[in-house]
Amino acid sequence: MNISLVRIDDRLIHGQVTTAWLRQYPAEVIFVIGDSVAANPFQKVVLQTTAPAGVTVEVMDTATAAAELIRRSQDSRNVALILTRPADIVHLVEQGIPIRSVNVGGMQPHTGSRQVAKSVSVDQADELAFRHLFEKGVELEIRMVPTDKKQDLAKILGFTR
Amino acid sequence: MFRQALLVALVAGAWEWITVLPAMIAAVLRKKDSTFNSWLIAFFKSIDSAAFYSPVVTAFLTGLVLGDVKTGLLVGSTVQLMFIGVFIVGASIPPNPRLASILATALCILTGASTGEALTIVVPVSVLSQLLTTLFMTLNVFFLHWADKMAEEGKIVNIDLLNTLNGIGWQAVEVIPAFLGVYFGVDLTKSLIATIPEVVSKGLGLSAGLLPALGFGMLLVIIANRRVWPFFFVGFLLATYVKMNAIAVAMLGVCLALIYDHLRNSRSASRVDSALTEAPYGSPEREAVSSDTASPGKAALGGEDIAGVFWRSFNFAGNYNFERLMALGMASMMVPVLRRLARTKEEIVSGLKRHLVFYNSHPYLGAMITGVVAAMEVQKAQGAAIKDEDINGVKTAMMGPFAGVGDSLFWGTLHPIYLSITAALAAQGNPVAPFLAWFFIGGTAVAGHWFFLNYGFRWGTDVLAKIRESNVIERVAGGAKIVGILVAGAMIATLVSVKTTLVLSIGGGSIAIQPILDQILPNLLPLCLVFIVYGLLKRHMSPIVVMLILMAIGILGAWLGFLG
C-alpha cells in the first residue's frame, strides 16, 4: 500500500482529517493504529460507523499494522495512518515500513507533558521517540490542516544532527 | 462619529449583552431552568449563528443601522463568497470575515469608498480577527484553571456563570475593534482613499468579480470527488444556458439527490448493516453497540433540565482554549444534569471534575454526545455500574469521529449551499437574502442542537446501532454533496465574473477575444479561473495568498487593460 499520510492525532479521525487532510492527501483506506484503541470495541464501532464516504477504516494495534502493511505491500490503494503516539511510529519504522515524514496534528496535554505548540504537548517518552525518528531522517512537522505553515518539531525540541 | 461607531459595535455583537446575556444569567442565578427561557435564548442564538457564519447578515445589519442597506448587501455578498469553504475545524482557526464585513460596509457607507476599495481591508481585518481569536483562546486557559478550582470546591453556580460570561464576553473581540475601526478609521480611510490611483481602484473593482473564485475553489476541495463531478457541470450548464437561479438549482439538486439515493439504495439495500451482522453474537463488537448503558428511562431528568442543557449547548465553545478545548463548555452543559442527579456535594465535585477534561466536537452532532453522556449520568445515578472512565471513554470515542462527520456535512456542505444562495440574492440587492440566511443557518443551528441532544439522550449508547442500521450518515452526506456541488457549478457561472478586453489584430482587421470565447462556452473564463484556484489550493497554497493573487490579477488587468 502506498502510504499517503502519517499523522499523530489523539482525537484520531475528526474534522481536520475529513475536511482537509483526506482532500489533499487522498486515501481509500485509513489505518487507525494504537494498542489502546484496538482494545476498545466501542471506539472501533464508532470509527467504522462514521467512516467518510468511500473510505474504509481499519482499527488495529501496532504489531498488526506493521504486519498488514507488509502483507499488503502490493495493494495499489493509498492508506493514511493515524496514530496517537510517536513510539508506535518508531515501531513501524523498525519493522521496515517506509515512513519519511510525520505530521503532528494534536497531542493533548497530560501529567508529565509540556506544551510545545498550540495543540501539541509531549512527555519524555514522546520526546525520545521523536528523537529516534529524527535520527532516522524522518521529517517531523506540526500542522493542524495542510494549508498551515509547517512548524519543524525537531527544531522546537532542539534536535541537532 | 461616536453614534455610528456605537451602532456598528452593537451589530458586531454587543446586542447580545443586552438580550441573550440577561436571559442566561437569570437561568444561572435562579439555579433553575425553564423551557420558555431556554427557547428564548435559542431564538436569540439563532440570530447569533446567522451573524457568525454569514457576512451577508452582518453587512446587512451594518447597512441598516447606517442607513444604506444596498451597500451592505453588496459588500456582504462579495465577502461571503470569498470565504465560502473557510471554517473552524478542531482548534485550527482560519481568518474570519465577520468583523471584516462589518468594517468594510461601514467604511464604504461613511467614506463613500467603492465596494472594490473597501475590499482591501478584508484581508488584513480577517487576519486580525484570526489573531484576536487565537489570543482569546490563549487567555481562556486562565479561566479554565479558575474553573478547576471552583470544581474542587463544588461551586456549580460559579462554573455555570463563568462559562456563560466567557462565551458572551468573547463578542468583545469584535465589538471593540468594530467601535475603534469606525471611530478612528473613517477619517483615516478618507485620506487613504484619496491617494489610491484610479487604475488601482478600478482593478480592485474588477477583483471583486474574481474573488468569489476563491470561495468556490475551497468548496470544491472539500466536496468534489469522482462521483459528484458530473453534477458540478450540470449546475454550471443550467445556469449558463438556462439562466436558472440559485434557489431553483438548489431545489433541482434536492430532487436529483433523492433520485440518486433511491437508485443506489434499491440496488444495494442489503449491504447496509453488514458490518454489524458480521460480528457474531456475544462478540465485543456486538456488546459494544448494545451495552446495558443504553436507553435510560426519562424519569430522572425533567423536560426543563434538558432545555437547560439545550441553551447551554449554544455556549459550549464559550471557553474554547488550546489546553482542553471545550472542557468547561461540557462541564457547564452538565450543570442541569448534575444539579438534578447529585445527592451529595461530593457527587457534584466529582461530576464537575469528570467533565472538565479535554473535549472537542461539532456543535450540532456533538449535542448527540452530550445527550448520550446525560443518559449515562442518569444510569450512573440510578446505580448502574458505570465508572467515571466509562463516561469519558464514550465521550472520547465519539467526539472526534462525529466532529469529522459534522464538520464535513454542516460546515463543508450545507453551509456553503446556504451561503451561495443568499450571496447570489444579496448580489442582486435583494433584502430577503439576510432573512433567508437567518432562516437556513439559525434554523439548522437550533434544530441541530435540539434534535441531536434529544436523540442522544433518548437512545444512549444505542445511537450507534441506530445510525448503523439506517446508514444515514453516508446517505445524507452523499445527498448533500450532490446539492452542494450542483449549486457551486451554477453559482460559478452567475457570480464569478471575468471578461477579457483583449483584441487581436490580424492583418488590417482586429478580433475581440471575448465574443469568440462566448461562442465556444459562455462563462469559460470564470470556469477556468475556479479550476486554477482549485489547483493552487490542492497544492496547499494558503487561501490568504490566493486572495492576494486574485486582487493583484484584478489590478494588473486594469493597468495593462486585459480585463474589463
- List chain A residues with CB under 8 Å of B92: 16, 20, 144-145, 148
Which chain B residues in 244-303 lie under 8 Å from chain A, judged by CB atoms? 275, 284-285, 287-289, 291
CB pairs under 8 A between A and B: 132
Phi first, then psi, for residue A115 (nearest 5°) are -80, 125
- Long-range CB pairs of A69-73 (<8 Å, 24+ gap) are A69/A1, A69/A3, A69/A31, A69/A97, A70/A95, A70/A96, A70/A97, A72/A1, A73/A1
In B295-442, which ranges are continuous DSSP H helix?
303-313, 327-333, 335-341, 345-355, 363-381, 388-406, 415-427, 432-437
Using alpha carbons, list the distances in angstroms from residue A126 to A121, B314, B412: 9, 36, 34
Record: contact A41-B288, CB cut-off 8 A: yes
CA angle, A145 then A151 then A155, to 5°: 155
Task: Name the 3-class secondary structure at B186.
Answer: helix
Out of A14, A91, A110, A132, the active site residue is: A14
Decide: pTM greater than 0.80: yes
Q: How far is CA B455 from the centre of its chain?
A: 22
Task: Supply the pLDDT for residue B267.
Answer: 60
Average pLDDT over residues A24-40: 94
Record: contact A14-B468, CB cut-off 8 A: no
Q: CA-CA distance, B460 to B454, in Å (whole number)?
A: 10
Q: How far is CA A115 from the centre of its chain?
A: 19
Q: How many domains does chain A have?
A: 1
Residue A28 sits in which domain range?
2-156
Record: contact A54-B222, CB cut-off 8 A: no
Alpha-carbon gap: A109 to the closest alpha carbon of chain B (Å): 7
B412: nearest CB among A19, A53, A145: A19
Q: CA-CA distance, B193 to B219, in Å (whole number)?
A: 33
Using alpha carbons, list the distances in angstroms from residue B158 to B96, B150, B161, B214, B308: 31, 7, 5, 45, 16
Is A14 in the active site? Answer: yes
Interface check for B402 against chain A (CB to CB < 8 A): the answer is yes
Residue A114's H or E segment, with its range, is: strand A114-117
Record: contact A52-B411, CB cut-off 8 A: no
Interface check for B73 against chain A (CB to CB < 8 A): the answer is no
Residue with C-alpha cell 486580525?
Answer: B128
B473: nearest CB among A14, A50, A108: A50
Record: contact B362-A15, CB cut-off 8 A: yes
Q: CA-CA distance, B266 to B364, in Å (whole number)?
A: 30
Residue with C-alpha cell 442582486?
Answer: B428
Task: Supply the pLDDT for residue B273.
Answer: 42
Record: contact A24-B468, CB cut-off 8 A: no
Q: Return the DSSP state at A150.
A: P
The Cβ of residue B532 has, within 10 Å, a number of other Cβ atoms equal to 16
Q: Which three cell numbers stand for residue B315?
A: 455556549
Q: Extract the residue ranges of chain B whose pLDDT is less than 50.
A: 269-287, 289-298
Residue of chain A whose Cα is closest to the Cα of B219: A19
Task: Name the 3-class secondary structure at B94.
Answer: coil
A58 strand-pairing partners: A31
Q: CA-CA distance, B489 to B546, in Å (whole number)?
A: 20
Q: What is the pLDDT of residues B27-41, one digit of tens each?
A: 999 999 999 999 999
The domain that holds A79 is classified in CATH as 3.40.35.10
- List chain A residues with CB under 8 Å of B461: 42
- List chain B residues with CB under 8 Å of A146: 540
B400: nearest CB among A13, A19, A147: A13
B287: nearest CB among A41, A50, A108: A41
Burial state string for B417-426 with b = 16 or more CB within 10 A and e = fewer than 16: bbbbbbbbbb
Task: Name the 3-class secondary structure at B495.
Answer: helix
Cα atoms in the Cβ-side hemisphere of radius 13 Å centred on B352? 26
Residues of chain A whose beta carbon is less than 8 angstroms from a beta carbon of chain B are 11-20, 23-24, 40-50, 52-54, 106, 108-109, 115, 118-119, 144-149
A144: nearest CB among B91, B404, B406: B91
Annotated domain spans of chain B: 291-399, 503-560
Q: CA-CA distance, B292 to B391, in Å (whole number)?
A: 13
Task: Supply the pLDDT for residue B471.
Answer: 84
Interface check for B130 against chain A (CB to CB < 8 A): the answer is no
- List chain B residues with CB under 8 Å of A42: 288-289, 291, 393-394, 397, 461
Does residue A133 form part of some domain?
yes
Cα atoms in the Cβ-side hemisphere of radius 13 Å centred on B406? 25
Task: Supply the pLDDT for residue B274.
Answer: 42
Q: Nearest CA to B48 among B19, B77, B16? A: B16
- List chain A residues with CB under 8 Å of B134: 118
Of all residues in chain A, what percent are helix, strand and coil, respectively (each to 5)?
Answer: 35, 25, 35
**Which residues, other chains included, contact B407 with Cβ-Cβ below 8 Å and sequence gap of 6+?**
A14, A15, A16, A18, A19, B87, B89, B362
Judge contact between A133 and A89, C-beta under 8 A: yes
Q: Which three cell numbers stand for residue A127?
A: 520526546
Q: What is the pLDDT of residues B463-474, one digit of tens each?
A: 999 998 888 888
Test the B interface: residue of A16, A147, A149 with most B CBs within 10 Å: A147
Cα atoms in the Cβ-side hemisphere of radius 13 Å centred on B271? 7
Does residue A161 form part of some domain?
no
Q: Nearest CA to A30 among A73, A60, A10, A74? A: A60
Record: contact A50-B401, CB cut-off 8 A: yes
Sign of the alpha-carbon dihedral angle for A161, A88, A15, B223: positive
Task: Supply the pLDDT for residue B282.
Answer: 42
Q: CA-CA distance, A3 to A73, in Å (whole number)?
A: 10
Task: Label residue A112 exposed, middle or buried (CB < 10 Å: 0-12, 13-18, 19+).
Answer: exposed
Q: Which three cell numbers stand for residue A150?
A: 509547517
Judge contact between B363 and B326, C-beta under 8 A: no
Interface check for B393 against chain A (CB to CB < 8 A): the answer is yes
Q: What is the pLDDT of residues A84-140, one digit of tens each?
A: 999 999 999 999 999 999 999 999 999 999 999 999 999 999 999 999 999 999 999
Q: What is the ipTM of this complex?
A: 0.90
Record: contact A53-B323, CB cut-off 8 A: no
